[in-house]
Amino acid sequence: MNATSTLQPDFLLAVESLTVSFDGFKAVDDLSFYIDENEIRVIIGPNGAGKTTVLDLICGRTRATEGSIKFRGKELTTMREDRIVHEGVGRKFQTPSIYEDLTVFENLEISFPRGRSVWGALLFKRDKEVKERVQEIAEMIFLADLLDLKAAYLSHGQKQWLEIGMLLIQDPDLLMLDEPVAGMSVSERKKTAALLNEIIKDRSVIVIEHDMKFVEDIADKVIVLHQGKILSQGTMEKVKNDPKVIDVYLGH
Ligand code: ADP
Ligand code: MG
């Protein structure tokens, strides 16, 4: 008998029969989906479909009424928000929360996970490690030449990248992004698509997005959410030709 095969979690994230009810209104209604390692999954859907609420539930900001969310087999619905981060789930909100008065470097530096207290030669070694990591992330997020600039002077798109960088430096295994390209220029959107394709080499990503062109550039699997339920799912090609989806989008 193979003892190891039975209890291994198959998916990085398993969401099953997830429901949240706000005073009787089900914003998320009996939702199930699964995310693999190194997968990028996009959730689209009209305003009010429940997209942001799904992320709120996964990161522990909102508590489920029913159902389960398992990350590497561990139940998240009863776990504290900071523990969920510690387990390796990072989440970016719709509006960037960066420190405007600090430089790009400092924003990344303060997001570097704190270890045990260190001193002397160890502190020196850690400084070097942090600097190298900041440099590496800054290159990924197209801000390597702007490390000494105050974050307040960045463009809207650059602020979005900085916040993605602040999450990346914590090295999460699952990164969740809520409308990351909202308000970005066409060229910034292209660069963000390239960034996300780079990011998933080491982790999985869930992205909420409206921009169909952007979705086509990044995702192979899409979920269309409507009234807290999955209306359609599959490739972008399949989903956008689904009469149910066309109906919902034209109806808005
Ligand atoms: P989306 O991100 O798809 O636009 P949301 O997840 O933000 O949609 O919202 C889904 C629905 O749930 C909306 O009708 C919204 O008003 C409602 N909702 C979200 N959060 C709460 C909350 N904390 N309390 C009450 N209603 C909420
Ligand atoms: Mg939303």
pLDDT in tens, the chain (252 residues): 444 445 555 799 999 999 999 999 999 999 999 999 999 999 999 999 999 999 999 999 999 999 999 999 999 999 999 999 999 999 987 777 899 999 999 999 999 887 655 555 666 677 888 999 999 999 999 999 999 999 999 999 999 999 999 999 999 999 999 999 988 999 999 999 999 999 998 899 999 998 888 888 888 899 999 999 999 999 999 998 999 999 988 665
Q: How many whole angstroms separate alpha carbon 5 and alpha carbon 192?
A: 38
Mention every residue, 6+ apart, whose C-beta is less than 8 A from residue 124: none
Q: How many whole angstroms separate alpha carbon 33 and alpha carbon 22?
A: 22
Name the helix (H) or strand (E) containing 204.
strand 204-208
**What is the CA(224)–ligand 1 centre distance, in A?**
16
**What is the CA(54)–ligand 2 centre distance, in A?**
9
pTM for the model: 0.90
- What ligand 1 atom has the least distance to the C-alpha of 22? 25
With a Cβ cut-off of 6 Å, ligand 1 is lined by 22, 27, 45, 47-53
Superfamily of domain 1-88+215-252 in CATH is P-loop containing nucleotide triphosphate hydrolases (3.40.50.300)
Interval 174-185: pLDDT, tens:
999 999 998 899
**What is the CA(54)–ligand 1 centre distance, in A?**
9
- What ligand 1 atom has the least distance to the C-alpha of 51? 3
DSSP readout, 25-83? EEEEEEEEEEE-TT-EEEEE-STTSSHHHHHHHHTTSS--SEEEEEETTEE-TTS-HHH
Q: How many whole angstroms separate alpha carbon 173 and alpha carbon 170?
A: 9
**What is the CA(22)–ligand 1 centre distance, in A?**
9
Which one of the ligands is nearest to 61 CA?
1
The domain limits of the chain are: 1-88+215-252
Q: Given ligand 1 and candidates 22, 43, 207, 209, which is best to mutate, with the most ligand atoms within 8 Å of its CB? A: 22
Residue nearest to atom 24 of ligand 1 (CA): 22
Residue nearest to atom 5 of ligand 1 (CA): 50
Taking each helix axis from N to C end, the angle separating 120-140 and 156-168, rounded to the nearest 10 degrees, works out to 130
- What ligand 1 atom has the least distance to the C-alpha of 49? 3
- What ligand 1 atom has the least distance to the C-alpha of 54? 6
Which one of the ligands is nearest to 226 CA?
1
Which one of the ligands is nearest to 56 CA?
1
Mention every residue, 6+ apart, whose C-beta is less than 8 A from residue 32: 15, 16, 17, 18, 230
Residue nearest to atom 6 of ligand 1 (CA): 50
DSSP readout, 96-150? ----TTSBHHHHHHHHSPP-S---HHHHHHHHHHHHHHHHHHHHHTT-GGGTTSB
- List the strands of the sheet with 221-226, edge to edge: 89-92, 174-178, 204-208, 40-44, 221-226, 229-234
Q: Are 210 and 249 in contact (CB under 8 A)?
A: no
